[in-house]
Amino acid sequence: MQVSVETGEGLERRMTIDLPFEQVAVEVEKRLQKLARSARLPGFRPGKVPMKVLRQRYGDAIHQEVFGELVESSFTNALAQESLRPAGMPRIEPAIDPVAQRFGYTAIFEVLPQLEVASLAGRVVKSPVAEITEDDLDAMIERLRRQRATWKPAERAAATGDRLTVAFTGTMDGEPFEGGSASGVKIELGKGRMIPGFEEGLVGASAGEQRSLDLVFPDPYQAEHLAGKPVHFEVTVEAVEESELPEVDAEFVEAFGVADGDIARFRDDVRKNMEREMKQRLDARRKEAVMEALLAAHDIELPRVLVEEEIRAMNEQMRETLGSTELSLPEGIFAEAAKRRVSLGLIIGEIVKQQGFRPDAQRVRAAVEESASTYEYPEAVIEYVYSDPKRLAPIESLVLEGHVVDWVLEQVEVENEVLTFAELSESAPRPGF
């Protein structure tokens, strides 16, 4: 087997492989002989079809079959011979010429970049720290009260936090526009679910009152034909309601699983949930800071094929999240995030290889148990995860990333970043890498 490699643009490689023609010819002949023993064709008895006829009828197909098998085996051997690491599947250009007794192909592919893990000495990573105060606990319980609020008619003008039932008609340049009119719409003032100025323009209105609002649609806006356009709304306030919060009593805490209605136990349960959430957010922010440090320390030429694969995966994930498999999203909106993920994947992979990291079994078990603790029957969930290596693999990958985070924190200067629980909750890091 003769192998030659040409370097293309960037990480592209063109590897030409010439296979021994005699080997191909012998293998084709062997398969034709085997076929001859059982071949059935009209006008011939079984097993009596002449070889000339078999070659005419099946020769090309058998050549393609042999070619495909030899491509698969020879490509792997050639990569090892040339010490190349492909980033994705190759594009194969056959070069078959029976007259010239040539049987070969050219494989075109990108290789993984040569990556040296950079020194992190002198780099600073901010590590967030926080604690839960009694005020934080009280604020969380107040939020739980608001979630179970009931609404009653307000015998006064509307204020922020009230719920209004409204009917409205919108016009643009004096003409109604699609989606600009509705009735019986409930709006909680201050939630910011309407376009800027709409909710603010209804503060102080009373039931039965009509208000005129001249506003501008934000730019960008989901309906592109409305983005940045001025609009006029005539709004009728049909009802004004104020919230009524439940008392924190035995009945209230029973609704959150405290069967005996013990308020102290309820507060303790809420605090434990907050501590679990705080730990997750602290770990996520710390990991985010580490990843940013790794990105800043490395400048990597990325294989286009890996970025394109990541874009397709993110696009598909977004379609599934939105519940629309036919939704067409522009690939450009995923490009930077895809490059970030590919870069970090390569960096983390190299660190794992160089440091010889393996997912620690105890940390894997702890991660599985923590995830399972949110279910009604955690032991059943744990057994389910461990029963299939494919289910365990994502958790093992996260644990490996945790090993990398710990290693990086040992290489850099760590500065504590003191945050309140509220600040930690308001600024959750981006998902994934």
Per DSSP, the three-state class of 87 is coil
Q: How many CB atoms lie within 10 A of CB 157?
A: 15
CATH 3.30.70.1050 occupies which residues in the chain?
A: 2-110
CA distance 314 to 339: 12
CB 202 within 8 A of CB 187: yes
- The DSSP bridge pattern shows strands 91-97 and 163-172 to be unpaired
What pLDDT shows up at residue 366? Answer: 95
What pLDDT shows up at residue 59? Answer: 73
What pLDDT shows up at residue 6? Answer: 94
CA distance 288 to 75: 39
What pLDDT shows up at residue 431? Answer: 42
Per DSSP, the three-state class of 86 is strand
Which residues are paired to 150 by β-bridges? 244
Calculated CA dihedral for residues 294, 296, 298, 302, nearest 10 degrees = 100
CB 147 within 8 A of CB 191: no
Which residues are paired to 234 by β-bridges? 169, 212
Mean pLDDT by 10 residues, the chain (433 residues): 90 92 80 78 74 76 82 91 94 84 90 94 95 96 93 95 96 91 95 94 96 93 88 96 94 92 95 93 95 96 95 89 76 92 96 96 95 91 96 96 96 95 74 43
Cis? peptide before 330, omega within 30° of 0:
no
CA distance 198 to 141: 30
CA distance 342 to 298: 12
**Tokens 């090993």, located at residue:** 403
What pLDDT shows up at residue 428? Answer: 54
Fold classification of 2-110 (topology level): Alpha-Beta Plaits (3.30.70)
Per DSSP, the three-state class of 400 is helix
**What are the structure tokens assigned to 30, written together?**
């062997």
Under CATH, to which class is 150-244 assigned?
A: alpha beta
Under CATH, to which class is 124-132+261-426 assigned?
A: mainly alpha
CA distance 92 to 108: 6
**What are the structure tokens assigned to 155, written together?**
């015998």
Angle at 309 between CA 303 and CA 310, to 5 degrees: 95
Count of residues making up the chain = 433
30, 80, 209 from 236: Cα distances, Å: 87, 75, 6
Q: What's the pTM?
A: 0.75
Q: Ramachandran region of residue 203, left (φ > 0), alpha (ψ -120 to 50) or beta? A: beta
Which amino acid does the sequence have at 94?
Answer: P
CB 150 within 8 A of CB 244: yes
Contacts of 50 (CB under 8 A, 6+ apart): 44
CA distance 400 to 407: 11
CA distance 268 to 232: 51
CATH 3.10.50.40 occupies which residues in the chain?
A: 150-244
CATH 1.10.3120.10 occupies which residues in the chain?
A: 124-132+261-426
Which residues are paired to 18 by β-bridges? 2, 104
